[in-house]
Structures are given as structure tokens and as C-alpha cells.
A and B are shown apart, each in its own frame.
Chain A
Amino acid sequence: MADTQHEDHGSHGEDHSHEHGSTQLFIGVFIGLCILTALSFAAGSSSFVMSTPSIGWTIMITVSVCKALLVMLYFMHLKWEANWKYVLTIPATMMSLFLIFALVPDIGLRTLSYTAERWLYAPSPRVEAHDHASGDHDHADNGEHEDENADH
């Protein structure tokens, strides 16, 4: 399609500026984004929410996904685009998720097959019970692991 120019199709110039979002809409989306950012920040900093880290992470990922949807739909005008947007977004999402799942067995669960010698040189987990990041301490790991603190 290199020979013919279709600027009017391409730009959807004057027709679409009124079909597309109004300034009001964009301001609304902007405020929504700010609120969601604040929400995510509050969840991440709140010791109450992060006492169970999984809940905190779920909240934050959900918020991030909502923000991403807002940006994609409204700022990137995907809401007003034709069905090719699904061809783009759905495979990309699937691939991203599959990539993460594919890495889990070898890298995500690497500590399950650590030998004692490897544990000797591996970074040791922190052990403060009130520290949220130690909440994901994997209790399923082997007994050879050097347990220098009795909190667990």
C-alpha cells in the first residue's frame, strides 16, 4: 500500500477529534491515574496491608493493570480503534504471561535444588519477622539450609 496516500483515512483528522475524547475526558483519565498511583503507593507503604505481602502485591498489580488499561484505551486512543487492536494486544499479553510462567521452574524455583555448598555461598535470607519481604521466605526449602536465626 505504498502507492496510494490516504491521509484522510490515516489521520482521521477533523472528523475524529470530536468523536475522540474531549479534553474533559482526558482530564478525567489523568485524575484517575493520579488516584490509582496514590492508591498503589499507599498500599505499598502501609505496614498493615504489607503484613501479608501477597495481598499487597495483588493490589499493586491490579492497580498497575488498571492504570495501563486507562493509558492504553484513552491516551493511546485504542478505545476508538478497529479490531486490529485485539490482534496486537492479546497475543502480546499471552506471550508476556507465558514467558514468566516458563521461567518459573528453572529460575523461580532454583533454590529448591540448591546443594549445601551452594547455600554456603548463596545470599542468606533476612530474618526479621516484621520485615515484609521475608514473608515470602520459602519454607519448602531443604533442611541443609543454614538457618542462623530461629525465627522461622
Chain B
Amino acid sequence: MADHEHHDDHGHIELEYQPALPLNNGKVCLWLFLSTEIMFFAALLGTFIVIRFGAPGAWPTPHDVHLVEWIGGLNTFVLIVSSFTIVMALKSAQENNASVARIWLLVTLITGSLFLGIKAYEYSSKFSHGIYPMKSPATIYDKPNLYYVSGVRERLNTIITEHAEADGDQIEMFGNLDLFRQDAPPSKEDQRIAKLEQQLEAIVGPAKMDAYGFPIYTEEEREKIIELQQALVSAKAPRAWDAMPERRKAVDKDNTEKLADLEEKHAVLIMDAAAGEEADKANADYEKAKQRQQRKYNSALAAINRDKAELRKIQSELPGLVRNQFHRLDEARICMRIRVNAVEWAEQAVVNRASEEEQTAAILALAYTIYPVHSNHTGQQKILGELMSLTKQVDTEEQTEKKFSGELTPKQEEINQTAGRKTALEEEQTTLQAKKTKLEEELAALNEPAESEEGEEPKVDPELETKKTKLQADIEALNTQLETVQSKLDPVVAAYAALEQEVKVLTASRDAATAKLARLKNRRDFIEEIFTKNRTAEGAPVLQFTEEYDEGLNHKHHFLELPLQITNGNMWASTYFLLTGFHALHVIVGLIIFVIPLIFMVKLDSSYANYLENAGLYWHFVDLVWIFLFPMLYLF
């Protein structure tokens, strides 16, 4: 850096100012900027280190959060390549190799974009599993406690309610269609509509319900229902439109009549009224009445317009609702099943006041069915253990049920027999009682005429007396018979009552066993379904509890988006996205810096080498940051 003496025109020596730093301005500025960037990233990285290591043992493993180490390593390699190529671009520019420099710069741009593409892929894999930088839309719970369980329940209920509301809307809209078309003038269309409704009822009427109250249809039935309902919508809507002018006519007619009515009344009043106050009052009343009628007319018109708007809305929305109804049904059914077999199962374990360990394990098991990650070891073990014990429990319950059924059948036979005997005896009793009553009536009839005559000597008719005595004797005999029958009946009735009680108890026990068996089987099938990878030749499920997280309920049904339980998941997500996000922003800025000379077709010769040097310095800094980010985020 020798000083060159410059001689101006007059031969005087011009002094050169020497810079304090042997750098050009651009480079100085860039290094100043880089030092601020160092401070920026040191702050972010420093806090990340402190936060992460201040969370003893409670940091998600890469597997928990869909972090794939080798992809991060690939990104590191891509960035190193791009660092190398920008250095080569600088070198070529310094050696005045403009075209070669351009090629190197282009390669840097491409590798930088590749880095961003891989990063976008990584981000998308996290978003698709519900891991976001902010608490909402992320649904990550830090602890496996009842808040988590209720979070899952709430999400399920949201889906079920949405679907129920849509169903309600569908029903309401169909109802409105029928309501609107009431005023339509009759037409042949009505017969066609009636026929369609008949066909629909033929399928829907006899439909069976499942355990949750949802109807069960086959595929063909579903398609037919949708077809018929769509046809009904397109048939009923025009009829509803036909009704509108009719209604309008009716409203107009009513209005005219009312107005005429008012006028008549007013005319009468005016005739009778004296001039002055009374007339004025009559006029004022008439005006008010007219206004009231006008308002009523307006609101009637408004009602018609509202209904027209509703009808338009129905026409645009109802076909969609009809088309999706079974999709909704299936989703709601899935949610109900999960609620019963997973959420309530966990809640039961907690409510049953098992030890805290058991409670947490049950909740972790729920978390595992939703989002099976290997670090949820407790949950996995709980599920495995549960499956084993479920088999045993199912067997035991089946035995119990069989036992109760076995005891129940003979008892029922017995009770039937007893019932038969009881009925026979009771019939006998009734017949005897009837006979007795008849005889008693006869006796009473014979006794009567003797009492009706008063003040006369009772005539004693010997024939009558014999009859009476005979009747008395018969009645006595019948009484004895009744007593015998009664004495036979009493024990039978008692036995019957006792048997009834026994049967009741046995039936209750057997029903309880059946219900418990159903509940256990549902749970077992539910879990097996989630973790079955294949089936054997005999159809037995081959269960797989892998290290992979692409399983579980959230993966099986993408619409579910149930909350996850990742210890410190929210903290992890926010630090991860913050660090990599800011880094990615810097990468984008770097790419813009690279793209400018390429777009403007600048000749990258030695006069442009400064730009490339500064761009390179910036890019190397970005690479430096990533060199530290990669192990800290992916490997620690």
C-alpha cells in the first residue's frame, strides 16, 4: 500500500488521505452491520441455551416434534456448498472472470433457494401435525393432566356440535321449503314430490340406529337418499317460488280490504260527528289507523322478502348440506366412538381414585393413542399392558355372562311353570267365586219378597225354605272349596314372587355383565384398530408400536386435530420457530442480494468484486449462524 505521489497540473504534491481502516466504506459498513447481527443472534441463541438447559429433563426429543436430524444435516451441507460457491464467485470476479463469476453466483442462489425449500418442507411437516409457534393454533399441552383430557373432549365436542348444527340446518331448511310452498297454487309437481317423499321414507323409516343414535345405511342407500333429497330440493324450491306471488297477492288484498274498512268507518264517524273537535279527532284517528295499517302492510311485505332471501339461501346451501350429510355423520360417529372409548376411559381411571401414577399413566395412554411417540414410554406401556389384561378381562366377563345366563334359563322355565300353575288355580278360584256369587244372589232374591211385605205375618213357604237351606249348604260347600283352592294358591303365589325376585336379580347381573363385556370389547377393538399394521392369514391383528409418530388417531383421521401432549412442547415450538424463522429471513435477504446483479445482468468483473465480497461476507455470517443452530436445535 505504497503512497503514490500525485502531481496535479501545477506540479504540486497532492496529499492522499489514508483511511483509518484499510477497507473500503462498504466493507466497513458491512462489518459493523455484522457485529450487530452477532449481537442479535447471540441474544437469541444465548436465551435458547439458557431456557433449554434450565428445563431439567423436560425438553422434547426430536422425534416428539417431527424434527428429522438428517434433513437438518442436509441443510447444513447445502449451506456449506453455497458458502463455497460464493467464495468462488468472489475469486472469479477478482480475476476478472465475469461469466464464471456469474455462474458461481447463480449456483449460490440455487443452493440458497434449496435451503429455503428444505426448510419449508420441514415447517410444513410440523404444521401438519399441529405444532405451530403460537399457542393457538397449536394445541399442545405440557402436562398429562385433566386439563389435557378436557381439551381433547372439548375438541371432539366441537366437531360433533358442528355436525349436529349442520344437520339441524338441513332439517330446518327442508322444513322451510315445505312451509314456503304451502301457499302455492296446486300443480302436478306436488304429486311427483309426494312420490319422492314416499320413496325417501321407505329407506329412512325402517333404518336401524347404532349405539350413538345415528342411523345405519348401506352405501347404496346413502347414495339413494342423497339423490332423492337433491331431487326434492330441486322440485320443492320452484314450488316455493310459485307461492311468493300468491302470498303477495294475499297481503295486498288484505291491505286493500283493511284500508277500505277503515275508510268506511271513518266516513260513518265523520257523518255523525259534529264539526270541530270531534271531527278533528275522528280525522286524526283515521290517519293513525291508516299509518298503522301501512306499517303492518310494510312488515308483511318485509316478511315475504325475508322468506325470499331465505329461499335463495336454501337453494344455494341445501344441496351442499345434503351432499355432505353422511360425511358429517361418519365424522361425528368417529368422534363419539373416540369420546366413549378413549376419553371416558381415561376419565374413569382418574375418577376411580387410582394412585397418582395410575392416573397419569391413564392420561398418558390417551395421549399415546392420539400421538404415539416413543418418548411417551409410560403411555405405550400402559396401552400394551391394557391390551393384555383386556383379553383376560373379556374372557372373565364372558364366563360371568355365561354363568348368569346358565342360571337364568332354568329359573325362567321354573317361573313359567309356576306361573302356569298359579294361573290355573286363579282361574279355578274365579269360577268358584262366580258360582258362589250366583248362588248368593239367588238366595238374596229368595229372601227379598219376605222382607218387602210389612206388617203382615210372614208366610212360611216350606218349599222356599228347603230351597234356601239347600242354597245355604251349596254356598257353604263352595266356601270350603274356595278355602282349599286358596290354601293351594298362597304358596304358589309366594313361590312365584320369590322366583320373580331371583330372576330379576339374575337378569340384572347378566345385563351388567353383557354391558361390561361390550364396553371392554369396544375398548379392545378401538385400540387394536389404531395400532394394527397388518393382519395374519387368519385375520388376527398384527400390532405395531413403532418409534414412528405417523400413527395414532390424529394421523388416522386428519380432520380430528386433537390436542397433543408434548412436555414443554410450546416452549420448544416458539424457540425453534423463532430461531429458524429469523435465520430464514436472513437467508431470504441474502438471496435478494444475490438476485439483483443477476437480474440487472451486471458484469461481474473486478470492479464489481466489492459487491460480491460484501455479499459473501453476509452470506458467510448466515452460514455461521446455521452452523451453531444445527447442533443446538437438532442434535442436543
Contacts and interface: CB of A to CB of B under 8 A. Distances in A.
| Chief secondary structure at chain A's binding surface | helix
**Contact-residue size bin, chain A (C-beta under 8 Å from the other chain):** 35 or more
Contact of A126 (B58, B81, B607, B624): B58
B71 to A, nearest CB: 11
Interface string B124-165: 000000000000000000111000000000000000000000
Interface string A112-152: 00000000011111111001011111100100001011000
A105 B630 CA distance: 26
B94 A123 contact: no
Contacts of A141: 56
Contact of A71 (B25, B50, B627): B627
Given A1-B20, A40-B631, A26 B50 contact: no
Contacts of A45: 69, 635
A3 B42 CA distance: 36
Contacts of B95: 14, 17
Contacts of A6: 19, 24
Interface string A20-64: 110100110110011001101101110000000000110011011
Contact of B17 (A4, A43, A63): A4
Most chain B CB within 10 A, of A3, A9, A135, is at A9
B545 to A, nearest CB: 14
Contacts of B84: 26-27, 29-30, 75
A92 B35 contact: yes
B54 interface: yes
Given A26-B87, A41-B73, A95 B610 contact: no
A96 B609 CA distance: 32
B582 interface: no
B24 A107 contact: no
A128 B39 contact: no
Interface residues of B, number: 78
A17 B80 contact: no
A56 B634 CA distance: 13
B617 interface: yes
Contact of A4 (B16, B54, B378): B16
Contacts, number: 207
Interface in B607-621: 607, 609-610, 613, 616-617, 620-621
Contacts of A40: 630-631, 635
B50 A104 contact: yes
Interface in B59-85: 59, 61, 69-70, 73, 76-77, 80-81, 83-84
Contacts of A26: 84, 87-88, 91
Contacts of A64: 627-628, 630-631
Contact of A37 (B57, B76, B91, B607): B76
A9 B42 contact: no
A121 B91 contact: no
Interface string A79-105: 000101000100010011001100110
A126 B375 contact: yes
Contact of A10 (B27, B360, B568): B27
B39 A37 contact: no
A11 B610 contact: yes
Can you list the 8 inter-chain pairs with the closest CB atoms, starting with the nearest?
A10-B24, A44-B635, A125-B57, A137-B57, A138-B56, A96-B42, A123-B142, A134-B57
Interface of A: 1-4, 6-7, 9-11, 13-14, 16-17, 20-21, 23, 26-27, 29-30, 33-34, 37-38, 40-41, 43-45, 56-57, 60-61, 63-64, 67-68, 71-72, 74-77, 82, 84, 88, 92, 95-96, 99-100, 103-104, 107-111, 121-128, 131, 133-138, 141, 146, 148-149
Interface of B: 1, 16-17, 19-27, 31, 34-35, 38-39, 42-43, 45-47, 49-51, 53-59, 61, 69-70, 73, 76-77, 80-81, 83-84, 86-88, 91, 94-95, 142-144, 356-357, 360, 375, 377-378, 567-568, 571, 606-607, 609-610, 613, 616-617, 620-621, 623-624, 627-628, 630-631, 634-636
